[in-house]
A and B are shown apart, each in its own frame.
Chain A
Amino acid sequence: MKIFRNLLNSVKPHFEEGGKLQKLYPAYDAFETFLFVPDHTTKFGSHIRDAIDLKRSMMTVIIALLPALFFGMWNIGNIYYGAIGEEAEFFTKFSYGAIKMLPLILVSYIVGLTVEFAFAIYRGHQVNEGYLVTGLLIPMIMPISIPLWMLAVSVIFAVVIGKEVFGGTGMNILNPALTARAFAFFAYPAHLSGDKIWISEQQTMPDGISGSTPLADYASGDLVYESSMFIDYFNGSMIGSCSETSTFAILIGAAMLIITGIGSWRTILSVFVGGYFMGYLFNLWGANEFMNLPPHVHLVLGGFAFGAVFMATDPVTASSTNKGKIIVGFLIGIFAVLIRVFNPAYPEGMMLAILLMNVFAPLVDHYIIEANIKRRLKRAKA
């Protein structure tokens, strides 16, 4: 680490005021604060600073994402070798998936960070830390067979239209990672849903291998639920986007987020409760086979758990009052299951549900704050 420090110190004068590369200061600042805890001191007002800055808290989220990521890598290999009918060792599967997954992650980071740096230098503000997490989330919620240029286009759209036009990290209305997925979903539907995309290199395989996700199968009525399937769904050895399948791995991440206080337990819990509640209502109605799916199964299928833990908790786009978190989370759960069951065109409702509630979160906050003000006024008068 000392080498880095010395290196940074030696180039620092070039970037400071009056230096040759003054314009590139945001880029320098990004590297310095990424590697070291910044030594900035406050200039006005409060002088107490928490040691944990935005970059540290983002790193916590990345660490929490790792179990799901590693499981996803193994799962890609597992599905691939299962599809070609070969037995394989644990590490063969894992390395196969890792090799398939790495280009996606690299493209996402390189493209996204290039856009971020360009905007930071052009506008002269700090490079936003938000992309550290977004850049990992995006490949994790895409199907493994998505062409890399489509991923790049989606990333550019998400960073520019989803974030920078609103003023960068902390100002965005919609979750950038989900914006990227929604863009890809509507722009290139053939690559984001259907049964041809979830297994890598399916094009080169012999015919007869179907690869639709369990959710799509339930929606089309091809699959009938049996209670023995639950444990598979929970572990995540099923077909789906790169890293969203394993509820178990995601819950490990959720525990980390809750213990460190980065993710809100209110949001996570209320999303699950909302989904369960809606699934239960559909059970009572029971008009078709899909409605009869036991409510707890909804919670482990598709991207429900992943969305609840890593997307709905995004501190920027979620509600910022405690009551609001519960209300918004509950509605996300309800809408996700509602869209799944009622609209066969969108087998995965989680993405749309979270984006929808992102838009409404400020409204919910507004009314909660207003109500609070009114209550206190009343108390003051009495």
Chain B
Amino acid sequence: MSEKKEALFSKKNLKLIKDPLDDNNPITVQVLGICSALAITVQLKPAVVMALSTFFVMCTANVVVSLMRNMIPSRIRIIIQLVVIATLVILVDQTLKAFVYDVSKELSVFVGLIITNCIIMGRLEAFALANTPWKSFMDGLGNSLGYALPLIVVAFFRELLGAGTLFGYPVLERLGLYELGYENNGMMILPPMALVTCGVYIWIQRMRNKKLVEEN
């Protein structure tokens, strides 16, 4: 081979992880997977479990599809991608049901809906079909982290302000805020505030990162 072998953690590969965290974030820049992001961010625990599940599904699916990329006829590639994702999601779903039943109940239909999460399909179509397994894995890792980051930040604020807890631990009560007359903000638990919190996240991100601001 005349081509020089690329190092595992070359700059190009690391960029695959870094990019989706900020410049090309799947939720706040591409605005994909918004539905699940709004629905499961009421508390931190389901958000973290959701992020982990998506992480597993996305990385594995990316690698699997990338391994098969030369065998997949392009006419039926969507179906094959769906089969891969669906298999993985069922694995995750059953695992959750077996080991953390209460969280699985809380997430309810949204674990199953990982199948329809546009981020995963998007990465398979746009990246895994045309790249080597290792690169696809890095891409999956980066994008699932990019999905997890806003999810957890939003869930952190919604649980803290809406219920006064973090992972179910009553932080504000321990701080003694309630005795001062503080009360939980019931609006943070309602879906509209997920949208507003997400919006504020995007606002702050675009204030920091001027590249994202369109010229007009």
C-alpha spacing A189/B190, complex, angstroms: 13
Digit string of A142-169 for contact with B (CB within 8 Å is 1, else 0)? 0000010110010000000100010000
Interface size on B, residues (CB 8 A): 12
Q: Identify which of A150, A187, A191 contacts B188 (C-beta below 8 A).
A: A187
Q: Is the CB of A149 within 8 A of B186?
A: no
B190 touches A186 (CB 8 A): yes
Chain A residues with CB under 8 Å of B185's CB are: 153, 187-188
Query: B183 touching A188 by the CB < 8 A rule?
Result: yes
| A183:B187 contact, CB within 8 angstroms | yes
CA of A165 to CA of B204 in the docked complex: distance in angstroms? 12
A187–B199 CB distance below 8 A: no
Inter-chain contact B203/A187, CB cutoff 8 Å: no
Contact B196 A189 (CB under 8 A): no
Q: Which residues of B contact A189 (CB under 8 A)?
A: 186
CA distance A11 to B199 in the complex (A): 40
Complex partner residue of A149 from B181, B187, B190, CB under 8 angstroms: B181
The reply to whether A186 and B187 contact each other, CB–CB distance below 8 Å, is: yes
Q: Enumerate chain B residues within 8 angstroms of A191, measured Cβ to Cβ.
A: 183
Q: List residues of B (160-200) whose CB comes within 8 Å of A's CBs.
A: 181-183, 185-188, 190, 196, 199-200
The reply to whether A165 and B203 contact each other, CB–CB distance below 8 Å, is yes
Q: Are A165 and B199 in contact (CB under 8 A)?
A: yes
A188 to chain B, nearest CB (A): 6
Q: How far is the CB of B186 from chain A (nearest CB, A)?
A: 5
Q: Which 10 A-B pairs have the closest CB atoms?
A: A187-B187, A186-B187, A187-B185, A187-B186, A161-B196, A189-B186, A188-B183, A147-B181, A186-B190, A186-B186
Contacts A165-B203, A187-B185 given; 6 further ones with Cβ under 8 A? A147-B181, A149-B182, A153-B185, A161-B196, A187-B187, A190-B183
23 A-B residue pairs with Cβ-Cβ distance under 8 Å, sorted by A, are A147-B181, A149-B181, A149-B182, A150-B183, A153-B185, A161-B196, A161-B200, A165-B199, A165-B203, A183-B187, A186-B186, A186-B187, A186-B190, A187-B185, A187-B186, A187-B187, A187-B188, A188-B183, A188-B185, A188-B186, A189-B186, A190-B183, A191-B183
